[in-house]
Structure 1
Amino acid sequence: MLDGWARRGIDPAIGRLALLVSRTGVSANAVTVIAFAVGMLAGAAIALEFYLAGLLLIGISRIGDGLDGAVARIRGKTDYGGYLDIVLDFFFYGAIPLGFAIADPAANAVAAALLIFSFYVNGASFLAFAILAERRGLATVARGEKSIFFTTGLAEATETIAVFVLACLFPGWFPALAVLFAAICFYTALSRIVLAGRRFG
C-alpha cells in the first residue's frame, strides 16, 4: 500500500547511487546477491538477539534491494536478474521471522510460523497473478518498472519492512506484530484472489 509513496521518496537517491555503482562495473545481479547476503546476516543477528545490528543490516539489505533494479536499468535488464531478485527477496522475508523464532522459541515460534505461512500464501497469490497477467499481455507501472506484473495490496514491501523495524526496536512486541501482519497478508492474498476472479474468470 505504501510502496508507491516510499518509492517517490527514495528513488532519486537510489538513482544517484546506482550511477556511481554502475561506473565501478558491478553488475545488478552482484548487487542482488550482496543484498541477499546482508539480509541473511540480519536474520542471523536477530537469532543471536543482536536486534539493533539486525535492524542496521535489514536497512542495508533493503537499500541494496532497491539499488539492483536501478543498476539494471542503467546497465541493461535481464530476465534472470528479475528472477534472482524475486527469489532472493523471498529468502529474506522468511529469514527475519525465523530469526525471531530462534531467538525466543517459547514466545515467538508460533507467531513466526503463522507469519511465514501468510508470506507463503500471499506470495503464491502474487506470483500466480503475475503469470496469468503475463499470459494475457497485461502491464503496469504502478510500482515502477518491474520484471513481472506487480499487483498492489495492503501488505507490500514497505509495510513488511516497517513491521521488521518495529520488531527489532521492540522485540517483545514480535508475537503481536507477527499475528497482526499475518492477518493483513491473508487479507491481501484474499483481495488478490477476488481481483483474479474478476480479471481472469
Structure 2
Amino acid sequence: MFDAHLRPLIDPPLNRLGLILAGTGLTANSVTLAGFAAGMGAAIAIATGHTLIGLFLIAVNRFADGLDGALARATAKTDLGGYLDITLDFFFYSAIPLAFAIQDPASNALPAVALLASFYANGSAFLAFAIMAEKNKLTTDAQGSKSLYYIGGLAEGTETIALFLLMALVPAWFPALAYGFAAICVVSAGARVLIGVKALRQTGR
C-alpha cells in the first residue's frame, strides 16, 4: 500500500549510489545474492533467539534489495536479475515466519502457519497476474521500474518489512502481529484477484 508513495523518496538516492557502485564493477546479481545471504542469516539469528541481530540483518537484506535494482538500472536490467530478485525475495519472506516458529514452537507455530498461508495466497495472486500481464503486454510503472507487472495491494513490501522489524524488536508480539497481518494479506489477495479479473476481462481474452 505504501510502496508507490515511498518510491519517489528512496529511488533517487539509491539510483545515485547505484551509478557510483556500477563504476566499481559491482553487479546487481552479486548484491541480490549478498542480500539473500543476509536474509538467511536473519532467519538463523531469529531461530536461535538472537532477534536483534536478526533485525539488523533484515535491514541489510532490504537495503540490498533496493540497491540491486539501482545497479541494474545503472547498467542493464536482465531477465536473470529479475528472476533472482523476486524468487529470493519470496524465499526470504517465508524464512522469517518459519524462524519464529522454530524459536518458540508452542507460541509461534500456528500463527506462523497462518501467516505463511496468507503469503502463499497473496504471492499466488501477484505472480499469476504477472504472467497473464506479460502475455497480454500489460505494463505499469506505479511501483517503479520492475522486471514484471507489479499489481499493488494492501500488503506489499513496505508493510511486510515493517512487520518483520517489529517482530524482531518485540518477539513476544509475534502471534498477534502474525494473525493480524495474515488477515490483511488475505484481504489484499482477494483485492488483487478482483483487480486481475477486471484487467484481464478488459483485454477481451
Residues paired across the two proteins, number: 201
CA displacement, residues 74-117 of structure 1 (integer Å, 9 cap, x when unaligned): 11011111011000000100111111111111000110111111
CA displacement, residues 154-180 of structure 1 (integer Å, 9 cap, x when unaligned): 000000001111111111100010011
CA displacement, residues 146-200 of structure 1 (integer Å, 9 cap, x when unaligned): 0000011100000000111111111110001001111111111101111122122
Q: CA deviation at 1:13?
A: 2.1
Q: CA deviation at 1:7?
A: 1.9
Q: Does 1:184 align with 2:188?
A: no
CA distance in 2, matches of 1:133, 1:66: 24
Question: 2:69 is matched with which residue?
Answer: 69
Question: 1:143 is matched with which residue?
Answer: 143
Aligned AA for 2:7? R
CA displacement, residues 21-71 of structure 1 (integer Å, 9 cap, x when unaligned): 212211111111100000000011110111111110000110000110110
Aligned AA for 1:129? F
Q: CA deviation at 1:14?
A: 1.2
Q: Does 1:161 align with 2:161?
A: yes
Question: 1:32 is matched with which residue?
Answer: 32
CA displacement, residues 99-144 of structure 1 (integer Å, 9 cap, x when unaligned): 1111111000110111111111110100001111111111000000
Q: SS of the residue aligned with 1:140?
A: coil
CA distance in 2, matches of 1:37, 1:185: 26
* Cα contact 2:138–2:149 (8 A) shared by 1: yes
Question: 2:116 is matched with which residue?
Answer: 116
Stretches of structure 1 that go unaligned for 5 or more consecutive residues are none
* Cα contact 2:15–2:74 (8 A) shared by 1: no
TM-score of the aligned structures, taking structure 1 as reference length: 0.97
CA distance in 2, matches of 1:98, 1:20: 37
CA distance in 2, matches of 1:13, 1:74: 13
Stretches of structure 2 that go unaligned for 5 or more consecutive residues are none
CA distance in 2, matches of 1:44, 1:164: 14
CA distance in 1, matches of 2:19, 2:158: 24
Aligned AA for 1:134? E
Runs of 4+ in 1 over 6 A off after TM superposition: none
Question: 2:86 is matched with which residue?
Answer: 86
Q: CA deviation at 1:12?
A: 2.1
CA distance in 1, matches of 2:115, 2:128: 20
Aligned AA for 1:44? I
Question: 1:100 is matched with which residue?
Answer: 100
TM-score of the aligned structures, taking structure 2 as reference length: 0.95
